[in-house]
Chain A
Amino acid sequence: MPNEPTLGGLLRSQGVSRRAFLKFCSTTASLMALPAGIAPAMAEALSSARRPSVIWLSFQECTGCTEALTRSSAPSIESLMFNFISLDYHHTLQAASGDAAEHAREQAQHDNAGKYLVLVDGSIPLDEHCSTVAGISNLAMLKEACAHAAAVINIGTCSAYGGIPMAKPNPTRAVAVGDIIKDKPIVNVPGCPPMPLAITGVIAQYLTLGRLPELDHLGRPVAFFGENIHDRCYRRPFYDRGEFAETFDDEGARKGWCLYKLGCKAPIAYNACAHIKWNNGVSFPIQSGHGCIGCSEPRFWDMGGIYDSVAKGNFGDGAKLGAAAMAGAAVGAGAAVLARRKKTRVAEEMHGSE
């Protein structure tokens, strides 16, 4: 179809200069650890890329992941690219609704069988009645949509690892996409929300090179999730010196000291926040004075309080310890009393047999 828009055409029509686009490509290429010289070729391939068929499924989610991509104040290349690819089916963004929307999805699945991408945000409840779209349960829709997909990209922690719907006590018996779909390549782009550049980076690589990025043991692209935030944190010298903010408004907090004691989970969190940053590179949570909550890690909601430091145990209070000490003391006293009695008895017996 010669009239089908290309990404280059779309970007030009939105006033994105070639220079800005090349910059995006070289940033993406270097982030994805692709060879430096690939940026122009990538720009070429991307700008003439045809709109790939993407089916975006939203299950138990809060739309924050979509917002993260689309709500940047000046439309970024990330969000434009997202608009470019996501037109086939997206509950939140598509104009169609009801039957028409579901038909669009079925049509896309049919026309592009084996080639389309499925993007998922939100977790899937095993109690199927808990979340349905057009009368179809999330579980059924996921299975159907993935049956002929080329690959699945999980956008956000909920689809990647279950996220907040799966947090204890998990009332809907929510699971991650990977718990259900076993026979398709899956890329997890976790985060609550995930970094927009990480989402588009994965898609850009897929569009230009035709392959998915290298993943870590949690299924995340190494390029974005390979680095520990604490290792990249500009407050690290304060951590190393042992200078910690004790509250959010004490002198240490004003001086920008380390937030470890205020619950910063970055030492166990892997994400690109500290170097790519948010809002077009303006800042990231730690820079604004709040510890990392480790949102790119599985089950981060259940890892103890957001303001409890990593060093603390995660087992409620110490009540059982006190009870255990009392029980131990009782058993100890009992054993000692028995031993004494036995001693007396033995002594008496020896006495009596004399």
Chain B
Amino acid sequence: MSLLEFARGPAIHAALIIMAAGIALRLIGVLVLTRGADLSRPRDAFGNFKGYRTVFSRAWPSGEFTTTTRYQTVVAYLFHIATLLVVLGIVPHIEFITSLTGLSWPALPNFLGVALGTLALASLLALIGRRLAKPAVYNSTLGDYVTWVIVALPLLTGLMAFAHVGPRYETMLALHILSSALLFAYMPFSKLMHAFWFIFSRAQSGLAYAHKGVRI
């Protein structure tokens, strides 16, 4: 079995199984634990609505923090948008998703794929640069760095495979699939679960505060 056969076969299959099971386990495991309703009278008649609004309003830091967090916010947005577009937008990824789900949609032109991949990687580097430069702000743990590496590897190998640079294509493709498999398997058990948690945690704090009449 060649590296590519291993990657396209058992490796990615096992990783997807772990991811599917892991995400379901963590989502259900946490959501079933929700507290009961707060029985006190809400201080704000529109509390619930305002609470859910937080999911979106927290997508941008409030005015007081604009300057201090500008770098982080802008670069993180660049990273997330570029990554999302690459993950969902280029032909090989759509082909892969189609083979699993049957769904398909029009792809981005390849040159945009390369540009977005480069942007995603550059912004990821900019983020780790700041994290390293300001340890007191980020208070990083080992997990933060491990996660960074696990996210950066598929981007780097994918960009090289897609742009046909570096080692032979089948090797790059195999490395890309293997690093993505690592990311998939790691995702549910790491801070990368924020891809799901962000909705619930924002809504939860939004609701709690709104109930108490706190303006958020």
Contacts and interface: CB of A to CB of B under 8 A. Distances in A.
Interface of A: 228, 230-231, 239-242, 244, 260-261, 267-268, 298-299, 302-304, 308-315, 318, 320-322, 324-329, 331-333, 335-337, 339-340
B39 interface: no
B10 interface: yes
Interface stretch (B46-54, B73-81, B105-113, B120-128): B105-113
Interface of B: 1-2, 4-5, 8-10, 12-13, 16-18, 20-33, 91-93, 95-96, 98-101, 107-111, 113, 164, 168-170, 173
Nearest to B29: A332
B173 A310 contact: yes
Given A241-B109, A260-B91, A329 B25 contact: yes
10 contacts: A244-B91, A299-B5, A313-B13, A314-B9, A315-B9, A324-B20, A325-B20, A332-B25, A332-B32, A333-B32
A340 B13 contact: no
Contacts of B2: 298-299
Interface core residue of A260, A268, A312, A315 (most chain B CB under 10 Å): A315
Contacts of A244: 91
B104 to A, nearest CB: 10
A24 B22 CA distance: 62
Given A241-B110, A242-B108, A312-B95, A336 B28 contact: yes
Given A267-B173, A315-B9, 18 more contacts: A240-B111, A241-B109, A241-B111, A268-B4, A268-B169, A298-B2, A310-B92, A312-B96, A313-B8, A314-B5, A325-B23, A329-B28, A331-B21, A333-B32, A335-B25, A335-B29, A336-B31, A340-B32
B110 to A, nearest CB: 4
Contacts of A309: 92, 95
A242 B109 contact: yes
Nearest to B170: A268
B169 A228 contact: yes
A339 B96 contact: no
* A-B complex: 10 closest residue pairs judged by Cβ atoms: A332-B29, A328-B21, A328-B24, A311-B92, A336-B32, A332-B28, A315-B13, A328-B25, A332-B25, A329-B24
Contacts of A313: 8-9, 12-13, 16, 96, 99-100
A242 B107 contact: yes
A250 to B, nearest CB: 14
